């Protein structure tokens, strides 16, 4: 096997080490505005901090069912293998010790080894050597208690193995022969061979498979110069990596969801970086799956939050930044544009060692894609309905699928959706499901906690924590499917079919659950559900907020309200309904949800109107007095979480206040303010038992691309009596969001209450949409000077209401300020007519949009979704006054344009 076969060869070579040291010394800004020397300085500061810490130790109270503590486990790094935890075989404490967190064994070993590689300073080598020689003496590099001893290699093995590989390679010249042999034998006997002997027990499309192979790949590269087996190990790793890529979504995406999918693909990115640096010949970069990643990342990236939604375990965030960085360095302009949008084009924002090694500004050319970012990924079951890259417009993300691939980290949430608007997930997903509290587990994992449909909700089922629950909610993680999709300039459309996930074996609960969603850009979404079953059910349409939001009645509809966004909603049905806003018992902190329930019936339809709009809360906070507990606030997690409490003794106002004992902080929800706005926070603060050199503090943080790039600080404050404190600042240029932090880091307790935020910004009231139902499946909507008529029609016959006549399943006509039609959309039909005027006529059933003006017509037609096709056939066609060509349902079509409308006919 070709490639560099001398040390260093893992991520860095003798040739590139010179270039790396030059980057670390550079004091001139790149064309992206940062200095690589500053980037290195931050990494070095972290290495210095880690070098000054006492020996690594970790302790955890291992939780069990119902939140009980099964056992307390602790370990301090030494030659001894960590102790067992026999009472909690399903909990992995070793993973926390080896994942690259702020401080872990791997974090220390990699940073100290890298600092030695760059500087040659002995302190870094000695600290890294101490850690590595301890690890080399362990009996094995996987937790023997996890899985009851059945698991021979896991995440801990992969992380430990590649960390040790970096140490061995980067510090090779300083090790004695005996030390080299000891580490090398450990890499083989405790890393590579257990990994390659056990990795096939993991599905190839899961993160565990990728983490293990990345460890074995780097270890094989590291030992190759001295051990002839390294080449064979490396060949096996490449073959198995290819198997994993083969298992990705055929049209893009990761089955485990964005968070675990990122864990998977960015683990392989480490392998790709190492293979590139060592100049190993391979064809993995030609794999078609990697070519789908720019569309996956850009298509699912919400323009306002700069996050990708998470329909499974995890939380919204950026997807595969390391892999996309590699693709950008290899010439992908779209990948570079994605990095620019998420703030990772400047790798100093993340201060990652691998990012510094990889960075070459001459290879980066960010350019927006030429294609419509509204996207569908049929194999994994995701779709995005969005107004291009317009950050002022809402975006809806939809999930129905996967159809056959049962993924453990997925939820029971087929035909569910989330909405991003105003820099917030105004309609959220539940994120990582709860493992230990039964009520919270049912709500966060089951259908009841997602924007889909459940059936026959009664008090007994609400109290029953079984998940899934046949006859009430979805019982299969697989089975849904996206069957139709359209991406247009004025309209997007998606259809999901999800009856199968409710059925188990011969128990057929649902015959039909078809959900269609049309996005009338850039204003609102209309959802139309068709439900049918062998027996009558009371169907419940679900619409969720979260712990930071409220749902309020608004006439015949409702408003979901967040810090800076709100969403008007109106839900119609073909049968009588009753509506209620509620929380789930035992999971109240997940926030409220709207449940619209039909009378028992075998078949029903829902038609829902969702219109996100700005909301200017004069105080920019939803819970500044803490009367709703921690809703709207984000306490410091991990070991500091128990330090945060809601106190009822001696609040400054009302019945409650927030407290922090010893160490922690509360971050407010983020909100948007224009650059130059003056912002002031007023907070009532008191402290108890605080030393003279400590106290409560506050920060205003200014965010861009997910990172706080500027801040204003105030404090420390010390007073046993409630005292109003203030912090002020001016929003700097480039700010996307602002947040307030209330902090306490000292012996004693800090208390906070009556938080208010004031600005000099003029508040503008949004335009309230006026919605008139047209029967149970149609809407007449006025927003300002624009009017839209929407009809949903599953009769198979032409219908007419509100001036609109159509034979389509869904049809929309938009009217301008002059009252004349400006655009139209049809799905599943041939005709859109407005007040007797045919705006759009197709010679056969299809999906199309048309924009009408005095100067031109714009039409788009598309075929139905074909599973595993890269994308449905689509294209924007611009017409003048003369006939032109088009495609309809995959066939060549003739187009005739008149002043009134457009006709598209198959030849």
Coil, strand or helix at 861: strand
Tokens 């789930």 correspond to what residue?
584
Sign (positive or negative) of CA dihedral 217, 219, 220, 224: positive
Mean pLDDT score, 189-203: 97
User: What integer best gives the mean pLDDT of the chain?
Assistant: 90
Which residue, among 164, 168, 228, 181, has the nearest Cα to 5 in the 3D structure?
A: 228
Degrees (nearest 5) of the Cα angle 546, 258, 494? 75
Q: In the predicted model, is pLDDT for residue 363 greater than 60? A: yes
Answer whether 303's CB lies under 8 Å from 391's CB. Answer: yes
Number of H helices, E strands in the chain: 18, 40
Residue 549 has a pLDDT of 86
Residue 614 has a pLDDT of 87
Per-residue pLDDT reduced to its tens digit, 629-639: 888 888 987 77
Residue 848 has a pLDDT of 86
How many residues in the chain? 907
Residue 65 has a pLDDT of 86
pLDDT-derived band at 876 (thresholds 50, 70, 90) equals very low
H helix intervals, 446-527: 459-463
Residue 628 has a pLDDT of 85
Mean pLDDT score, 254-264: 90
Per-residue pLDDT reduced to its tens digit, 647-688: 999 999 999 999 999 999 999 988 888 899 999 999 999 999
- Kindly give the interhelix angle for 105-119 and 155-170, rounded to the nearest 10 degrees: 20
Mean pLDDT score, 91-105: 94
Instruction: Extract the tokens encoding 161.
Output: 């193995």
Answer whether 355's CB lies under 8 Å from 347's CB. Answer: yes
Residue 615 has a pLDDT of 82
> What is the separation of C-alpha 851 from the centre of its chain, rounded to a whole number of angstroms?
34
pLDDT-derived band at 881 (thresholds 50, 70, 90) equals very low
> Do strands 799-801 and 804-806 pair parallel, antiparallel, or not at all (unpaired)?
antiparallel
Residue 619 has a pLDDT of 67
Give the phi and the psi of residue 664 in degrees, each rounded to 5: 155, -175
Q: In the predicted model, is pLDDT for residue 861 greater than 80? A: no
Cα distance between residue 703 and residue 599, in whole Å: 48
- Kindly give the interhelix angle for 257-277 and 229-246, rounded to the nearest 10 degrees: 140
Per-residue pLDDT reduced to its tens digit, 551-609: 999 999 999 998 788 999 999 999 999 999 999 999 998 999 999 999 999 999 999 99
For every residue of 581-631, which 3-state class applies, written as one string? EECCCCCHHHCCEEEEEECCEEEEEEEEEEEEEECCCCCCCCCCCCCCCCC
Question: In the chain, what percentage of residues exceed pLDDT 90?
Answer: 76
Answer whether 828's CB lies under 8 Å from 810's CB. Answer: yes
Cα distance between residue 534 and residue 883, in whole Å: 50
Q: Give all strands (DSSP E) within 835-899, no chain letters.
A: 837-852, 857-862, 876-879, 884-888, 891-897
Residue 870 has a pLDDT of 32
Degrees (nearest 5) of the Cα angle 13, 120, 172? 55
Burial degree of 84 (CB within 10 A; 0-12, 13-18, 19+) = middle
Cα distance between residue 661 and residue 752, in whole Å: 12
Sign (positive or negative) of CA dihedral 253, 254, 257, 260: negative
Q: Phi-psi category of 622—alpha, beta or left, where left has phi over 0 and alpha has psi -120 to 50?
A: alpha
The alpha-carbon radius of gyration of the chain (Å, integer) is 29
Residue, of 589 and 191, whose pLDDT is higher: 191
Per-residue pLDDT reduced to its tens digit, 217-242: 999 999 999 999 999 999 999 999 99
Cα distance between residue 813 and residue 887, in whole Å: 22
Which residue, among 655, 654, 670, has the nearest Cα to 621 in the 3D structure?
A: 670
Neighbours of 513 (CB within 10 A): 26
Per-residue pLDDT reduced to its tens digit, 766-807: 778 999 999 999 999 999 999 999 999 988 899 999 999 999
Answer whether 544's CB lies under 8 Å from 428's CB. Answer: yes
Instruction: Extract the tokens encoding 500.
Output: 């199968």
Distances (CA, A) of 73 to 59, 69, 76, 92, 894: 6, 11, 11, 11, 73
Q: In the predicted model, is pLDDT for residue 877 greater than 70? A: no
């Amino acid at each position: 096997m070709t490639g560099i076969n001398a040390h260093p060869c893992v991520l860095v070579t003798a040739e590139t080490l010179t270039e790396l040291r030059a980057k670390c010394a550079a004091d001139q800004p790149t064309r992206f505005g940062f200095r690589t020397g500053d980037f290195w300085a931050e990494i070095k500061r972290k290495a210095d901090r880690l070098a000054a810490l006492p020996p690594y130790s970790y302790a955890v109270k291992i939780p069990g069912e119902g939140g009980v503590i099964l056992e307390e486990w602790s370990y301090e790094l030494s030659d001894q293998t960590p102790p067992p935890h026999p009472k909690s075989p399903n909990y992995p404490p070793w993973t926390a010790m080896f994942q690259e967190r702020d401080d872990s064994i791997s974090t220390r070993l990699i940073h100290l080894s890298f600092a030695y590689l760059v500087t040659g300073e002995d302190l870094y080598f000695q600290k890294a050597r101490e850690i590595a020689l301890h690890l080399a003496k362990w009996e094995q590099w996987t937790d023997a208690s996890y899985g009851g001893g059945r698991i021979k290699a896991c995440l801990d093995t992969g992380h430990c193995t590649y960390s040790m590989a970096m140490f061995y390679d980067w510090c090779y010249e300083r090790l004695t022969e005996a030390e080299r042999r000891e580490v090398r034998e450990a890499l083989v006997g405790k890393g590579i061979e257990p990994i390659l002997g056990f990795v096939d027990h993991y599905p190839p499309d899961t993160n565990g498979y990728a983490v293990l192979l990345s460890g074995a790949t780097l270890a094989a590269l590291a030992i190759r110069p001295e051990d002839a087996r390294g080449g064979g190990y490396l060949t096996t790793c490449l073959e198995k990596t290819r198997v994993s890529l083969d298992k990705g979504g055929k049209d893009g995406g990761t089955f485990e969801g964005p968070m675990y999918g990122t864990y998977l693909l960015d683990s392989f990115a480490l392998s790709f970086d190492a293979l590139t640096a060592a100049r190993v010949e391979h064809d993995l970069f030609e794999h078609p799956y990697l070519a789908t990643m720019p569309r996956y990342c850009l298509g699912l990236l919400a323009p306002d939050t700069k996050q990708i939604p998470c329909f499974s375990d995890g939380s919204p965030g950026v997807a595969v930044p390391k892999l996309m960085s590699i693709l950008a360095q290899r010439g992908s302009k779209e990948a570079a544009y994605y990095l620019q949008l998420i703030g990772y084009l400047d790798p100093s924002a993340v201060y990652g060692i691998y990012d510094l090694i990889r960075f070459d500004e001459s290879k980066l050319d960010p350019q927006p894609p030429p294609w419509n970012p509204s996207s569908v990924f049929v194999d994994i079951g995701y779709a995005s309905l969005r107004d291009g890259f317009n950050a002022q417009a809402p975006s809806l993300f939809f999930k129905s699928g996967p159809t056959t691939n049962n993924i453990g980290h997925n939820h029971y949430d087929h035909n569910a959706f989330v909405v991003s608007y105003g820099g917030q997930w105004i309609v959220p997903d539940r994120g990582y499901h709860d493992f230990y509290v039964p009520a919270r587990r049912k709500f966060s994992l089951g259908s009841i906690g997602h924007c889909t449909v459940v059936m026959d909700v009664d008090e007994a089922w609400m109290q029953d924590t079984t998940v899934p629950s046949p006859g009430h909610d979805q019982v299969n993680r697989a089975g849904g499917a996206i069957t139709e999709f359209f991406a247009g300039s004025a309209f997007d459309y998606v259809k999901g079919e999800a009856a199968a996930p409710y059925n188990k074996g011969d128990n057929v609960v649902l015959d039909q659950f078809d959900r269609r969603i049309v996005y009338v850009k850039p204003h609102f979404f209309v959802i139309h559900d068709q439900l049918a079953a062998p027996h009558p059910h009371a169907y419940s349409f679900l619409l969720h907020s979260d712990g930071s939001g409220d749902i309020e009645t608004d006439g015949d509809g409702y408003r979901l309200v967040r810090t800076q966004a709100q969403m008007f909603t109106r839900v119609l049905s073909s049968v009588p309904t009753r509506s209620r806003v509620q929380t789930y018992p035992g999971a109240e902190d997940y926030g409220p949800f709207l449940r619209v329930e039909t009378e028992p019936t075998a078949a029903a339809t829902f038609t829902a109107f969702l219109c996100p709009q700005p909301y200017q809360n004069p105080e920019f906070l939803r819970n500044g007095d803490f009367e709703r507990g921690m809703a709207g606030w984000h306490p410091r997690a991990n070991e500091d979480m128990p330090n945060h409490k809601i106190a009822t003794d001696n609040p400054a106002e009302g019945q409650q206040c927030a407290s922090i004992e010893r160490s922690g902080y509360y971050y407010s929800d983020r909100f948007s303010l224009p650059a130059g706005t003056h912002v002031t926070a007023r907070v009532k603060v008191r402290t108890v038992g605080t030393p003279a050199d400590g106290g409560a503090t506050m920060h205003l943080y200014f965010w861009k691309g997910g990172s706080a790039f500027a801040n204003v600080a105030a404090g420390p404050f010390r007073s046993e009596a409630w005292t109003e404190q203030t912090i002020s600042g001016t929003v700097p240029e480039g700010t996307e969001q602002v947040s307030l932090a209330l902090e306490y880091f000292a012996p004693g307790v800090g208390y906070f209450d009556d938080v208010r935020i004031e600005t000099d910004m003029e508040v503008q009231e949004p335009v309230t949409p006026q919605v008139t139902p047209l029967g149970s499946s149609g809407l007449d909507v006025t927003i300002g000077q624009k009017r839209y008529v929407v009809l949903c029609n599953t009769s198979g016959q032409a219908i007419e209401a509100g001036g609109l006549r159509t034979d389509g399943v869904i049809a929309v006509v938009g009217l301008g300020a002059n009252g004349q039609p400006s655009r139209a959309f049809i799905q599943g039909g041939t005709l859109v007519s407005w007040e007797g005027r045919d705006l759009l006529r197709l010679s056969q059933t299809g999906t199309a949009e048309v924009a009408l003006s005095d100067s031109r017509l714009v039409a788009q037609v598309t075929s139905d979704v074909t599973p595993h096709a890269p994308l449905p056939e689509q294209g924007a066609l611009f017409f003048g006054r003369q006939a032109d060509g088009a495609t309809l349902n995959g066939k060549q079509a003739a187009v005739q344009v008149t002043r009134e409308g457009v006709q598209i006919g198959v030849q």
